[in-house]
Amino acid sequence: MSRKLNVALLNSGHFHAGMFLNIVPNLGHKITAISCEDKKKLEEQAKAFEARPYADYKELLEDKSDIDFAICCGVHAEAADMLDMLVEKGIPFCTEKPITDNIDRMRRIVKNARNRQLFSDVVLPLRFSPIILAFEEFRKKNHTGEIAHCYFRNMAGSIDRYRKWGCAWMLEKARALGGPFMNEGAHYIDLFRYLTGEEIKSVQAGMNNGIYHESIDDNFSAILETHSGKRAVIEICYGYPTNNNWRDLAVVINTENYLFVLIDQENPRAFKLEAKSRKDCSSEIIDLRACEQNVYEVYVKEMFKRFLSGKDGIIPVSNFLGTQIALANAYISAEGNRKVSCRDFGEKDLLEMHSEIAGWLLNNQVMDSKSKYFGSIYYPTEKRYCNRDTACLASCFMRQYVNTSDNKWLERADLARKNVLSVQLENGGYPELRNLEQSDDGSAVNTSIVADNLIKAYQAGLAYDQKDVSALSRMADFELCLEWEPGAFYHDTEHLGIPRYKDRTWGKEGSKIDCHNTTALSAMMLQKIYYFLKENDCPVKQAWLDAASRAIKHLPAVLNEAKHWPYMNDCKWIDVNHHGMTMYYLLKAARYAPHCHDQNLKTAILESGRWLTEKGLLHTEKGSKPDWAIQQSACIYFSWGYFVMGAPLACLGNLDPANRRYWHNEAIELMRYVKTSLWNNPKCDDEGPMKVSEGGLTKGFAFFGQSLGWCAYQLDELINEINFRFH
């Protein structure tokens, strides 16, 4: 290697950074620039290596004129941001692991690096360890047969070492993303993939923090399985009592014809690998001292050699993707206490689903300018026009307009807006339908969802005028009339007095039915209208906020002992769909001050989320689905339910960042079931790209069967909450 590289080291405070500071100059290269948050350490290192010091890696990368290569040693939660910037700047790099626990974020990094044909490497030096080199050499000379099973154990030292090294962030779950498996699991997942040549199909894992009781796990066990059935058991722990960096290791590799076991490990200088034949029970002892070397130095030397010769990295980010997927899913499995498929489903699929729904809605918008329904959505199966879903069209089409800059979406969104404004009742509300006829004089459900989606459309750039302002104000005033006791909002006007239908027998005094989901909807919409109008210098009423506050106070009080919000108070039956609705709109309502600071409210919402994922859903190979067997609701079997449960679960990832990946995975798994089992609908022309119902039903009491506009609205929210990118 005749060329001398100018190398930048990002985050030299990382516990592995010292190795790179020693190795790189020994290989004849120059440490040109260093970033570190620790001012004293940065000054010392910059002086020792005559390097430019930067407190922030972003500043370093902006001043990149003489940087040939970057070594990324990021805090785990920040590593993906570092790599995004490196790829954007076109700087070749190697990186520590892990990169991110967001699988779709990892896929974007891989895609962008590939598109730029950028050199990358993830430093996993155990491929060069004496154990693996000896095994591979033996395998070349002997008929070992296929690997069937591997066992790896790494019991590392105390967590106190990270504090001594100035890396206490390793004990913070939000920054480290996890404990020993997140830190070191990648080594052994990579070895299993490397040795077998196969990808991981599924993982089942468990963990606890019973040794040190920190926010991170301190011991972790995982069972990995490939598509052909090969299995690996990996156990990693912080907790080996030692005064140095020694650890307890175990390696077992089971092949068809041999058993390989690491022995004599109590003496770190006398490791041996025993190869025991299944044919005659004979053993061959391989002294690993013959392979002894500094594996990090070997790895980095080979990496630079490849870079300078124009070859790919040893483990480019594209190769590491399979390891990162298994690593992230191991934590999802441990947090959810169940087996998890290493699915190939995520951002791209969800965006395609949204686009297909938007296309169907576009084709089913009424375009006859002479019709009183001009601009409305029409649902062929139910022969129904829907004010609620027409408002959803406005926000859905604006999303497509922002994504594509195609004016047809903007024009269609405006048609939807005009239709919605034209059908508002005199009292300011929007009614629902029953038997294809107006069933009330305004409902909390339709009126709230109309308001939310119109405001979403305005915020996305749809023009509005005084008519819109007046309509929103009237919607908020209408909603107030449904508050029948402090903090409890009726479903619709029928509950206020004598209803239209004989099967409703509550009489002049009203139903006194405490409907939880409509109370949550009201809490959300009253605040959303208030703050949107106020931000745009339009008149607002304090009464709207006061009513919303009463609703937000009411809902945690009626959460039942099981932590379930049934359809109405004192209801004995279970309703997973409306539970999801209540969660979602309460979550949105709780984002406004002062409610966003209410810890009791947060606890109630999180407990309701756990009820949904642990009691209300079934987790299958195709994804997650509602447990319809426990459901007693007018909306049973409707595919719409997947979306009104998925959106709040995605929101919980931001309310509870420590368990973000758990909540986001739960949301994605619901969508995966929709795409796997309910998509590619043979009745697409009438129903849309997904089946209206799993049970073959096409309409119900509330006509939530064919509600693709609402589904698009909830899917849009889910995508944004998980921070996927529409562009």
Listed as own residue / partner, the contacts of 545-550 with beta carbons closer than 8 Å and 24 or more positions apart are 547/479, 547/480, 547/483, 547/522, 548/522, 548/523, 548/524, 548/589, 548/592, 549/595, 550/483, 550/486, 550/487
Helix, strand or coil for residue 125? helix
Using CA atoms, how far apart are residues 317 and 694, in angstroms rounded to an integer?
40
**pLDDT confidence bin for 241, thresholds 50/70/90:** confident
Does residue 366 contact residue 373 with C-beta atoms inside 8 Å? yes
Band (294; pLDDT cuts 50, 70, 90)? confident
| 98 upstream amide cis, omega within 30 of 0 | yes
* Per-residue pLDDT at 552: 98
**Whether residue 725 has pLDDT greater than 90:** no
Q: Would you say residue 149 has pLDDT above 90?
A: yes
pLDDT class of 74 with cuts at 50, 70, 90? confident
**Is the distance from CB of 459 to CB of 536 less than 8 angstroms?**
no
Q: Above 60 in pLDDT, residue 391?
A: yes
> The tokens 């891989």 sit on which residue?
110
- Segment 547-588, tens digit of pLDDT: 999 999 999 999 999 999 988 887 888 899 999 999 999 999
Torsion of CA 232, 236, 241, 242, to 10 degrees: 90
- Is the backbone peptide bond immediately before 380 cis, with ω within 30 degrees of 0? no
SS (H, E, C) 451-471: HHHHHHHHHCCCCCCHHHHHH
- Evaluate if residue 376 carries a pLDDT over 90: yes
Least confident of 280-284, 413-417, 712-716: 280-284
pLDDT bin (cut points 50, 70, 90) of residue 245 is low
* 723 pLDDT above the threshold of 90: no
Hey, what are 262's tokens? 């690491």
pLDDT at position 2, please?
Answer: 64
Is residue 448 within 8 Å of residue 524, measured between CB atoms?
yes
- For residue 120, the tally of other CB atoms under 10 A from its CB is 26
The Cα–Cα gap between 721 and 229 comes to 36
> Does the structure show a pLDDT above 90 at 469?
yes
Residue 416 token pair: 């939807």
Beta strands in 415-544 (DSSP E): 433-434, 437-438, 483-485, 488-489
Q: Does residue 711 carry a pLDDT above 90?
A: yes
Burial of 286 from C-beta contacts in 10 A (0-12 / 13-18 / 19+)? buried
Q: What is the mean pLDDT of residues 279-298?
A: 84
Mean pLDDT, rounded, of the chain: 91
Mean pLDDT of 137-155: 94
Say what the pLDDT of residue 1 is.
46
**Window from 32-36, 84-88, 553-557, 693-697 with minimum mean pLDDT:** 693-697
CB 555 within 8 A of CB 523: yes
Does residue 267 surpass a pLDDT of 70?
no
pLDDT at 401: 96
pLDDT of residue 726: 46
> Taking 70 as the threshold, does the pLDDT of residue 244 lie above it?
no
Q: What is the dihedral of CA 346, 348, 354, 356, to 10 degrees?
A: -130
Is residue 380 very low, low, confident or very high in pLDDT (cuts 50, 70, 90)? confident
Q: Return the pLDDT at 264.
A: 65
Residue 499 in this model has a pLDDT that exceeds 80: no
Is 58 or 658 the better-scoring residue by pLDDT? 58
For residues 625 and 644, what is the distance between their CA atoms, to the nearest angstrom? 12
Task: Taking residues 620-632, report their average pLDDT.
Answer: 89
- Residue 365's SS3 state is strand
pLDDT at 727: 40
pLDDT exceeds cutoff 90 at 365: yes
Segment among 350-359, 380-389, 399-408, 521-530 with least mean pLDDT: 380-389
pLDDT, position 212: 93
pLDDT of 311 above 90: yes
580: alpha, beta or left? (left if phi > 0; alpha if psi -120 to 50): alpha
Are 297 and 21 a contacting pair, CB within 8 Å?
Answer: no
Reported as a pLDDT band with limits 50, 70 and 90, residue 478 is very high
pLDDT of residue 438: 82
Taking residues 210-238, what's their average pLDDT?
A: 95
CB atoms < 10 A from the CB of 543, how many? Answer: 13
What pLDDT score does 211 carry? 94
pLDDT at 433 > cutoff 90: no
Half-sphere exposure of 271 (CA within 13 A, CB side): 21
Predicted local confidence at residue 63, as pLDDT: 84
Q: Determine contact, residues 462/410, Cβ cutoff 8 Å.
A: yes
Mean pLDDT, range 249-263, rounded to an integer: 93
> What is the arithmetic mean of pLDDT over 160-172?
92
Higher pLDDT, 663 or 269: 663
φ, ψ of residue 341 to 5 degrees: the values are -80, 140
pLDDT tens digits, 677-704: 999 999 999 889 999 888 766 554 444 4
C-alpha–C-alpha distance, residues 616 and 577, integer Å: 9
Residue in the block written with tokens 């995605």: 650
* Cβ(712)–Cβ(442) below 8 Å: no
Residue 435 has pLDDT above 60, yes or no: no
3-state helix, strand, coil split of the chain in percent (to 5) is 50, 15, 35
Model-level pTM? 0.86
Of 193, 277, 190, the C-alpha closest to 230 is 193
* Cβ neighbours of residue 207 closer than 8 Å, sequence gap 6 or more: 179, 181, 217, 219, 220, 221, 331, 334
Predicted local confidence at residue 702, as pLDDT: 45
Q: Quick one: average pLDDT of 155-173?
A: 92
Residue type, 49: F
CB atoms within 10 A of CB 65: 6
Q: What does the pLDDT average to over 32-46? A: 93
Terminal Cα-to-Cα distance of the chain (whole angstroms): 42
